Amino acid sequence: SKDIRKLDTDVDKMRIRRKDSEDLKVKENVFDETTLKALYDLARKGVIESLGGSISTGKEANVFLAEGKDKNVALKIYRISSSTFNSMDEYISGDPRFSNIRHKKKDIIYAWTKKEYRNLMRARECGIATPRPIDTHKNILAMEFIGEGDKPYPLLKEVKINEQSAQMIFDTIIHYLEILYNEAKLVHGDLSEYNILLNPSTLEPYLIDMGQSVTLEHPSANDFLKRDIRNLARHFKKYGIQPDEEELLRIITEK
């Protein structure tokens, strides 16, 4: 439609790179009309000035590099039409009886995006190293880019470290979990070597991906924490670190 064409021009004005066709394919998938509009709003607000390449394509979200005023920004874009819903969408769109189902689905995604923003904010305010959340708009979370130049820091999973460094990193993460629990009153809920970035020079860990993090009142908070601890213990075992998981749970929760 005409609207889409106008948005396309707007996005062009944002100097979206089109050199990488693979990249473009990802973008076509992600950038439905709502997302294009939301991106444009963020550009108009000055949160981003141009869009860079794709950093990650996950189950529910894509992460892109973007340029902010004088710094890189990471954009986590939750997909509005994802997997299972995609095939239904064909039948639902255009049928007025389903218009509020469609709205509900969007509302849930927007709420989820805001939740991740707030969780990151809460964790950071308590001194935990996470990306600083910059803005949230519809299905897009803009946050500090954690990396060097245009290259994101590697995942904990990807780095080769010695046993001594591993112990240091492990201790820092456990310390963060203590703060997260006792001060931010949150449980990460999806902690593993896949959701921790590592500054390769200082070996400082950053906790990321906090959309699913829950407050302590959540009925499954303690089970999530146990699982987070189990994942960590499993990963660090190969460095000769063999923590007593029960004891870790006590250390974290009985402050």
Instruction: Give the bridge partners for 63, in sequence order.
Output: 56, 76
Buried b (16+ CB within 10 A) or exposed e, 72-86: bbbbbbbbbbeeeee
Min CB(4)–ligand ADP separation in Å? 26
Catalytic residue check, 209: yes
How far, in Å, are 5, 201, 234 from residue 65 at the CA level? 24, 21, 31
161 interacts with, out of ligand ADP, Mn ion, none, CB within 5 to 8 A per kind: none
Residue nearest to Mn ion (CB): 209
Quote the strand ranges of 68-183, DSSP E: 72-78, 133-137, 140-144, 147-148, 151-152
Q: Which is nearer to Mn ion, 142 or 156 (CB)?
A: 156
Catalytic annotation, pick one of 190, 223, 228, 244 = 190
How far, in Å, are 52, 74, 234 from residue 115 at the CA level? 25, 17, 28
68 interacts with, out of Mn ion, ligand ADP, none, CB within 5 to 8 A per kind: none
Q: Which is nearer to ligand ADP, 117 or 145 (CB)?
A: 145
- In single-letter form, the type of residue at position 161 comes to I
Q: Which is nearer to ligand ADP, 224 or 249 (CB)?
A: 224
The residues of the shown chain that bind Mn ion, judged by CB under 5 A, are 195, 209
131 interacts with, out of Mn ion, ligand ADP, none, CB within 5 to 8 A per kind: ligand ADP
Q: Count the Cβ atoms, other than its own, within 10 Å of residue 36.
A: 19
Q: Which is nearer to ligand ADP, 38 or 63 (CB)?
A: 63
The residues of the shown chain that bind ligand ADP, judged by CB under 6 A, are 55-56, 58, 60-61, 63, 74, 76, 131, 143-147, 152, 155, 195, 208-209
Q: Are strands 72-78 and 61-67 parallel, antiparallel or unpaired?
A: antiparallel
What is the DSSP secondary structure assignment for residue 156, as one 8-state letter? G
Question: Torsion-angle region of residue 149: left (phi > 0), alpha (psi -120 to 50) or beta?
Answer: left
42 interacts with, out of Mn ion, ligand ADP, none, CB within 5 to 8 A per kind: none
Min CB(152)–ligand ADP separation in Å? 4
Min CB(241)–Mn ion separation in Å? 22
Catalytic annotation, pick one of 10, 209, 228, 244 = 209
152 interacts with, out of Mn ion, ligand ADP, none, CB within 5 to 8 A per kind: ligand ADP
- Among all chains, which residue has been given the structure tokens 């689905």? 105
Can you tell me whether residue 4 is helix, strand or coil? helix
Min CB(227)–ligand ADP separation in Å? 16
CA 240 to chain centre: 30
Residues carrying an active site annotation: 190, 209
